[in-house]
A and B are shown apart, each in its own frame.
Chain A
């Protein structure tokens, strides 16, 4: 079922031990994943430094700060420096995001990730397994329905982060986009909230990688996964 999960057996030259290994992630996917992850980190850090210049979503007069965000958790040192990081890495962020989506579509690899209607019934059993100690549902695919849901949502959030950012950066040239978001002022709030939604995804993603072990992590580096848990035909 899963498109790229053709398993091969690898024999260890010394021990003669044979492990089943599956090629899960093509090079372009891994490239985009890591470069995008780094650029997301830079975008969040510099974005928070930009936010520090006016940490509010209300009026300038009187200004009521939402939070005094610590400088140590921000990137760029000052507003101008942070804008340089933000305006440089946004291109890398967008480029890797676009390359990923285009590659996924044309290679057919998107089937591995895209959450579709037939995944819907599988969501609840996975939630029950993860959060309520339910039995582990069997899956024949690389990703279970809940994973697909998370990844598809994250990609959607990525698109929204770019669109809201564009509305803030160019509220005149893309005035229709800002208008769709309720104007420049609100677009800035959406941009901020979407960042937190993305961070929530990253947090959950990292927790799952840690819980689920080393194999998953390695497969995103090398493309290959040893002893996959799913039945790889």
Chain B
């Protein structure tokens, strides 16, 4: 069949045609050094917002059989600075502050008086490796009740003996699997694994599992998200 002729003008470019190039402009913006940083920070924030929206308080992280456990000696020791900041166990207390009814110093015995939980959960590092560990401790939610944390507060932050710091959104802090952990594999925490007290949050990425916890603060506004977050990592990083 002979093709019909057409009167469209192919050599001129209309405003509408130009508008079609807008996506190229948007992608091109990522190549500009001044715009790249804010755009990527925006993307990260959007991902964090989506992560928080995807988080379900009642949904449990998978738990594993004893036979699935990574042997204790193969559970990596990750510290950002030192493996053992030399905590004085005799003098150690957990200093509670912020929007709580009962602030002050709590001893390890006071923490351990709460109901004990043991669970085999997966520890996922932001680098990509993962291990399954056994963690024993008390529910962070139980401890928050003990200290009379404001139920409308939004964040729980921790300070560590090695000057590491971390934070959790309240929904994650109240999750039934979120632990103030003082045991791994049935033994008291070793110094390198964060003795005497660390976080074990199976719904969060590895860098949120702060070790050698010294202080805990409940707040409505987040003053600082965390050490790695301040370097440019995700603030929420829920799994």
CA distance A10 to B50 in the complex (A): 49
**Chain A: interface size category:** 35 or more
B76: chain A residues at CB < 8 Å are 60-61
B127 touches A54 (CB 8 A): yes
Closest to B56 in A: A173
B212-239 at interface with A (beta carbon < 8 Å): 228, 231-234, 238-239
Given A9-B3, A60-B125, A184-B124, decide whether A172 and B59 contact each other with a Cβ distance below 8 A.
yes
Q: Is B202 an interface residue (CB 8 A)?
A: yes
A-B residue pair count with CB separations less than 8 angstroms: 118
Q: Which of B36-44, B159-167, B188-196 contacts A (4 or more CB under 8 A)?
A: B36-44
CA distance A35 to B27 in the complex (A): 8
CB distance from A174 to the nearest CB of B (A): 8
Q: Is A88 an interface residue (CB 8 A)?
A: yes
Given A7-B3, A9-B5, A61-B74, decide whether A79 and B203 contact each other with a Cβ distance below 8 A.
no
CA distance A61 to B60 in the complex (A): 27
B1-56 at interface with A (beta carbon < 8 Å): 1-6, 8, 10-11, 20, 23-24, 27, 30, 39-44, 46-47, 51, 54-56
Total number of B residues with any Cβ neighbor in A under 8 Å: 52
A42: chain B residues at CB < 8 Å are 30
CA distance A31 to B27 in the complex (A): 12
Q: Which of B83-91, B101-109, B128-136 contacts A (4 or more CB under 8 A)?
A: B128-136
CA distance A233 to B2 in the complex (A): 9
A10 touches B74 (CB 8 A): no
Q: Is A202 an interface residue (CB 8 A)?
A: no
A172: chain B residues at CB < 8 Å are 59, 61-62, 202-203, 238-239
A171 touches B239 (CB 8 A): yes
A126-146 at interface with B (beta carbon < 8 Å): none
A175 touches B62 (CB 8 A): yes
B20 touches A27 (CB 8 A): yes
B10 touches A80 (CB 8 A): no
20 CB contacts below 8 A, A to B, read A8-B4, A8-B5, A8-B6, A31-B23, A50-B128, A53-B127, A53-B128, A54-B125, A60-B74, A60-B129, A61-B74, A61-B76, A80-B228, A80-B232, A83-B233, A88-B43, A89-B43, A172-B61, A175-B59, A179-B62
Given contacts A80-B232, A91-B47, 15 further A-B contacts (CB under 8 A): A7-B3, A9-B6, A50-B128, A53-B127, A56-B129, A59-B70, A59-B129, A59-B131, A60-B131, A61-B75, A79-B127, A80-B233, A88-B40, A171-B62, A175-B61
